[in-house]
Structures are given as C-alpha cells and as structure tokens.
Chain A
Amino acid sequence: MNMIEASHLSRTYQRGDGTPVTALRDVSFVIAAGEFVVIRGASGSGKSSLLNILGCLDTPGSGSYRLAGEDVSALPDDARSHVRSKHVGFVFQSFNLLPRATAVENVELPALYTGASPDRARAQELLERVGLGARADHFATELSGGEQQRVAIARALMNDPPLLLADEPTGNLDSAAGESVMQLLTSLHEGGRTIVLVTHDEHVASFADREIVIRDGVIASDTVRRERRQA
C-alpha cells in the first residue's frame, strides 16, 4: 500500500507586492507504507512547502495528493484537521511544546481533538517508551532540548498515526541529543511507521532508506540508500 501518492504537485505564493513565486513545480513521487524517506534541499528549495502539503496543513495549487489512499488535495480546512488528527504526527525543529503544560499534558494534546475519552495512561506509556516516564509532571520549560524533542515525538504518536513528518528534528540539538532522537525515529521506523524527514544535514539523511533532493521547486534526485537499513 502507498502511504503517499503525489502527482504533479505545484504551489505558487503571492508576494506582498502581488508577484507570484513558484515554490513547487510539477512534483510527483510515491512513498510506500513503512518507508523512511528523507527530503533534502537548501533553504528556499521548496521542501517546507512540500512538507506543509504532505502534512495537510496546506493544499497544492494544482496536482493531486493521496494520503493513505484518500485524495486530500482539495479538502476543506475542517476535514484536513481531521486527516491530520488521524494520519499525521508532526515533529518540529523547535519542538513546539506548550510551555505552560506538563510533559504528559503535551503528549495527551492530540487526543483532545479526536472525540475519544481522555487517555492519560496511554500518554504516560508513550513517555516511558521515549525514556521520560519519570519526567511526566515536569513542565516543558524544565526539560532539556533533547528531552523536549522526545516528548514531542511521544506527542506525535498519541493518536497512533501511520505517518510521521519530521522537520529538521535535530536542528536545535547538540550531536548527542540529536543522535538519540535519530535512534528513536529509526526504531519507530523499524516498528512499521512511515517516516518522512526534512533536513539539510547529510548525517541525519544517512539514517533514511531513501533520499529525495529538491532544488528550485523540482525533484533533483530520488535515490534509494538501503545500506543503512538494519533488519
């Protein structure tokens, strides 16, 4: 089964003065369920625009995008919220934890918007899984960067989405913390989750099975690098 089917995606923005800027031009690719793919590109290459579309935060100007078999390219705002809630877990460069909430409250957050009953036990279990069970009642601001990012990953897993989207997840971390975050993502991938990671860091990219390079809004290369994959 294909997790992501992007065909002929284009995205154009209006500058402040009205002139159009093309961020993506006719981008097509397919990502199968269970793949670990890295998208690389310099800043301004269009990789953030692509990530926003893949995460259903944005819609393509033209082309079609199917996520987990469902065409989501023209869904209205509310429906895209529900798709994100069900199918996508986000991991951000700057963690984006709620500073006035504890670790376990942050992990629970996605469950608030599913209509299901609150599940503190699952949030606690996810914190244990990322090695922070003892930190559950610490506020986000009391945690180190590496710890915050692991809480963010636990949050991304709260609704058990099949797809994780990570945007420079190690960009704000020192190399040791970055390494442990990458190992965590690798183990999630080995557990069967599809991971799409955006980075410009060659070392981080080396954790993935496959690398898509974006340049000036088009795919410059799409390479399979299976040598790092551990069975």
Chain B
Amino acid sequence: MNATRVIGSAWRSLARSKLRSFFMMLGVIVGVAALTALASVGEATRQETMRQFKRMLGTFDTLTVRPGAGSTRGMPSLGSVEPSLKFPDGPAIAAGVPGVKRVALVQQAFDLDVSYRDATTVPLVLGVSPNWADIRGEVVASGAHLSEEDDGSLARVTVIGADVARDLFHGENPLGKVIRIADVPFQVKGVMASRGAGPGGASLDNMLVIPVSTAAKRLFNRDYLTTLVVQLVDANASDRVAEDVRALLRERHRIIPPAQDDFTVGSPRATLAQITRVGSTLSKVVTGVAVIATLIGGAVIMSLMLIGVSERRREIGVRRAVGATRADVMQQFLVEAILISAFGGAVGILIGAGGATVGALLQKLPPAYMWSMIGGAVALSVAVGVIFGLYPAWKAANVDPIEALRS
C-alpha cells in the first residue's frame, strides 16, 4: 500500500465518524493549545523585558563599572557610594584596555530639587561626558545634545527628559529657559525623545543630563564617579574585556589580591540573562502541565481507539480476508492515530497562537511566537499518536479474522 492511499483511506475513515474523531482530538487540542499559548505569551513577556532593559541601558554592548565591592543594590547616588572611582579611570580604561571603544563618565544623584518658576520636580540628575548620548543612542526631540565645548567650559546647560519638560513647562517651549537644579541655574539646551518604560514599568524620561565636569565642579563638588559606561568593540568579548578592566583598575587603585576590589564591573547582558532565567523556570512548570494535558489526550486517544478496534472487528476481518496482512492492519490504525493527533496538534497550535495573540494585544504587547515550542508541540502530538496508537493498532492487527467474520 502506498503512503497517499494509506493516509487517504485513514482520513476517510476518520471523516466518517466525525464526533468520535473530534473527541479523540480534544485532549491533544487542549494540550497543544495550552503549550503554544503559554509559551508564546511567555516569549512575548520575555521580549518585552528585553526591550525594557534595552531602553534603560540604551545598548547591551557595554560594561558598567561602579564603585564599591559588589552587592550594591539599586541606583547608586553620589551621596551614598564609595569615592573610589575617579575621573582619570575612564580615559585610562579607554586607552589601556584593548577591545574598548569609548568610556562615558557619569555622576548621578536623584535627591535634588529641580524647579522652573513655581514648578518643582525631583528627577534623576546625571552628569555625563559628551559621548554618553551617542554610546546609548539617545535622541533629542528638540534642541541639541551636550557638546565637548559645554564640558570643557563648565557650561551650565542641560538636556532634559520628556517627563521633566512636561512637569516644569506644561507645554511651554523649554529651549533657552533657565531652570534651577538645587538652586544652581542651568539653561535648557535640548529635550530628549521619550524612551518609554523601563523594567518594572517605571518611566525612563524623568531625568536630565548636564556636562559631567560642570556637575563635578559647580553642582556636586565631588571628584569621584558613580558609573563608568564602557562601550565594547565586540560584544562577544565582554568577559575578557571585563577581566582586563578589573586588572587595570586594581593596578591603578593599588589593590593586591586577596584585598577586596573597590569597584564592580557588571555586564548588562549577564544581568538580563539572569532575569530571563527566572522567567524560564516558571515557563518550565507551565510547560510540564501542558505536556501532561497532552499525554492525557493521548490516553483518551488510546481508550477510544481500543473501543474502535472492538467495534471494527468485522471490518478488520474483512480486510484480512481480502488480503491485508497484520502489518497492513497495524499500519492503518497507527496512521489513523497519528492523523488524529497531528490534526489535533495543528488545531491546537492555531488556537494557541490565536490565544497568545489576543493575550498579547490585551497586555498591549506586540505578540511573539516561540517557534521552537511550536515545533516541539508538533513533534509531541505526532509522538503521542505513535505511542498511544501503538497498542490499539497491535490489538487490531491481532484480531482473529475467523472469529471476526463469524456471523
């Protein structure tokens, strides 16, 4: 018997008992739909987390150096960090570590009042080197970025985030206006394009930047940094570069192991990997549940097929009488089981992908489909057909035609 005839004949046999076929499919449909939907919703969420991090960090192709020996949680502020990371450390890394493209210097604080006329807000205040905006891919909505001249001349200029523009100016054009940062006047030079929400959904636009030299000498009066942003030539070399950066800083800070480092080198990519791993533990549990549902679907297929075999004993007898071998009969029932579960799997994938799309749209996320999981669902449903079809097919093949034909 050739393949198309086997499949065609199995298909007709299933099509002529639609209700039974539907019930046989149901378990696989539910299992595969759940698998597909949950995996795809998980994937959409993971991708959204990625995007949030990307928006916060601007780029993943960086390392960050912070003062203090690790385990510093939350956002560093000038008032609370160790004064160990100095301005010259930045140019030293840029010049002395191969694989480093540029280094941005950052001083930040988030406890300063910023006001314009009667309006006051408390945004994140960042003193940044002029290359910072470019490393992060920041875009101004109006005005201009901070320049080398601004930094060199200790200019009191600022580029403000979208939230600060809204909170202080209420629709008025901020360009050229003078705001006060902790009572020091700064002229607004530009307004940054909105970056949306970061991890956890908090706004990334409630911030302003000023030249880092101005910040150090005219606002904070501090000669140390809160962050160095090290841009890599090749993101894949981040482990090696991180090690070289550590070695250089130990030398500069005269740290001889086993003495503890007074700085921490972090990799946004590593942080992100850790966060998405937490998500994947949850999705493993969910996947397990869906797999169990599919297996129950397989058990339903097996029991209904066993009933089918006993109802179709006469048909089996006739087929054997007209020349079918045991293998032919086995093959027929096995193909029916595989068709049922594969078709159920296909329907399940459609329902699951549809559900995931609706779910993602309800959460206002762009839908994402986890193709590896969908491929796995297809493989699983075919495997269920084979595994749970095998025993009924074997039973069918071993029906005694003489018994079956006795009227």
Contacts and interface: CB of A to CB of B under 8 A. Distances in A.
B325 A77 contact: yes
A113 B328 contact: yes
B5 A118 contact: yes
Given A58-B402, A90-B321, A109-B318, A78 B1 contact: no
B5 A90 contact: no
Given A57-B401, A100-B13, A100-B17, A109 B325 contact: no
Given A78-B327, A81-B325, A109 B1 contact: no
Contacts of B319: 109, 113
Given A112-B5, A112-B9, A98 B325 contact: no
B407 interface: yes
A217 B145 CA distance: 109
Contact of B323 (A94, A97, A110): A110
Contact of B405 (A96, A155, A158): A96
Smallest CB-CB A-B distances: 5 pairs: A85-B323, A113-B323, A110-B322, A100-B16, A81-B325
Contacts of A81: 320, 323-326, 328
Nearest to B4: A118
B335 to A, nearest CB: 13
B16 A113 contact: no
Interface residues of A, number: 32
Contacts of A85: 322-323
Contacts of A100: 12-13, 16-17
B317 interface: yes
A125 B1 CA distance: 22
A120 B391 CA distance: 33
The winner among A82, A90, A96 for most chain B CB atoms within 10 A is: A96
Interface string B175-189: 000000000000000
Nearest to B322: A110
Contacts of A90: 321-322
Interface of A: 48, 52, 55, 57-58, 77-78, 81-82, 84-86, 90, 92-94, 96-98, 100-101, 105, 109-110, 112-115, 118, 155, 158-159
Nearest to A168: B407
A84 B321 contact: yes
Given A109-B319, A112-B5, A96 B325 contact: no
Contacts of B323: 81-82, 84-86, 110, 113-114, 159
A27 to B, nearest CB: 18
12 contacts: A57-B401, A78-B327, A81-B328, A82-B323, A96-B318, A98-B315, A100-B13, A100-B16, A110-B323, A113-B328, A114-B323, A155-B322
A77 B402 CA distance: 13
B314 interface: yes
Interface in B320-351: 320-328
A219 to B, nearest CB: 22
A155 B402 CA distance: 19
Nearest to B16: A100
B interface, size bucket: 20 to 34
A94 B328 CA distance: 24
B324 A113 contact: yes
B322 A78 contact: no
B318 A113 contact: no
Interface in B352-407: 401-402, 405-407
A221 B249 CA distance: 114
Contacts of B326: 77-78, 81
Contacts of A158: 322
B132 to A, nearest CB: 74
Given A82-B325, A85-B323, A90-B321, A113 B405 contact: no
A14 B127 CA distance: 99
Nearest to A110: B322
The winner among B317, B319, B320, B321 for most chain A CB atoms within 10 A is: B321
Contacts of A58: 402
B236 to A, nearest CB: 57
Contacts of A86: 323
A12 to B, nearest CB: 15
Nearest to A82: B323
A127 to B, nearest CB: 16
B16 A115 contact: no
Contacts of B318: 96-98, 109
A41 B83 CA distance: 113
A78 B328 CA distance: 10
Contacts of B327: 78
B324 A52 contact: no
A77 B326 CA distance: 8
The winner among A93, A112, A155, A158 for most chain B CB atoms within 10 A is: A112
A92 B402 CA distance: 12
A57 B1 contact: no
A105 to B, nearest CB: 8
A84 B402 CA distance: 13
Nearest to B315: A98
Interface string B7-24: 001001100110000000
The winner among B5, B323, B407 for most chain A CB atoms within 10 A is: B323
Nearest to A158: B322
B267 to A, nearest CB: 64
Contacts of B324: 81, 112-113
A92 B407 CA distance: 9
The winner among B1, B319, B322, B324 for most chain A CB atoms within 10 A is: B322
